[in-house]
Amino acid sequence: MENRQIDITAKNNSNVRLGLIPGHFATNHSHVNYFVDMTTTKTEYRAAREAARELAKFYAHNKQIDTILCFEGTEMIGAFLAHDLCENGGGMNGGTNISVITPETNMNNQMIFRDNLQKKIYGKEILLLMSSISTGKSINRCVECLQYYSGKLAGVAAIFSAVPEYNGIKIDSVFSLEDMPEYKSAIPSECPLCASGAKVDAIVNSFGYSKI
């Protein structure tokens, strides 16, 4: 599959790249025709820093952020984003402090926060940071967790999002369908690739892919 990969760069920053592998892939919620590879962006210092700089532009001057809640391996990006908003933004977050945390998942697959972390959520302005959003359904689970711990949703940010909003929640992203117009997502029962008899190439999630 890797020999089919093509790279695209962000419109405003050529240092932010995504790898796209065409095929037939199954996620938790849908089937998609591209695997969006964010390995470099999530694991390499320079790539994570540049991605954070692009996301910071959405929040530097008009949003107060107390805590960045990281999902799908975005902790390094979250740390750089907190730095940019606190040190370089000069806006509402300038000179303040921002916490960067990740929820824990219990044996029932529920997101939880231990007692020592709950103070970073309760009554705070929270930015949800995700790597990729294909349908937006995963946001519901995150928002429900946030509401349970009395956090306030300040925004949703992602490296790539195939949807501009979900249930009235605006999604700010570095990459969108404008950057990859051929990207398609469908529920399994309505997947055109399945209907055509195409086999699933791999199971994908936020960690990567496993070939079938």
- Rounded to 5, what percent of the chain is helix, strand, coil? 30, 35, 35
Read off φ and ψ for residue 10, nearest 5 degrees. Answer: -65, 145
Contacts of 28 (CB under 8 A, 6+ apart): 138, 205
The residue whose two tokens read 């952020």 is 65
Q: Which domain holds residue 72?
A: 2-211
Q: What is the total count of domains within the chain? A: 1
Confidence of residue 35 (pLDDT cuts 50, 70, 90): very high
What mean pLDDT is reported for the chain? Answer: 91
Read off φ and ψ for residue 170, nearest 5 degrees. Answer: -70, 140
Read off φ and ψ for residue 179, nearest 5 degrees. Answer: -85, -20
- Around Cβ 5, how many Cβ atoms within 10 Å? 13
Q: Is the pLDDT of residue 153 over 70?
A: yes
Q: What is the mean pLDDT of residues 27-39?
A: 92
pLDDT, tens digit (0-9, with 9 covering 90-100), for 161-210: 999 998 888 999 999 999 999 999 999 999 999 999 999 999 998 888 99
Q: Is the pLDDT of residue 61 over 80?
A: no
The rounded distance, in Å, linking the Cα atoms of 100 and 69 is: 6
CB-based contact 62:41 (threshold 8 Å):
no
pTM attached to this predicted model: 0.90
Token output for 170: 């605006």
How far apart, in Å, are the Cα atoms of 168 and each of 41, 58, 155, 164, 208?
Answer: 28, 17, 11, 10, 29
Q: What is the CATH number of the domain that holds 61?
A: 3.40.50.2020
How far apart, in Å, are the Cα atoms of 139 and each of 71, 128, 148, 165?
Answer: 10, 9, 14, 10
Number of alpha carbons in the 13 Å side-chain half-sphere of residue 14: 0
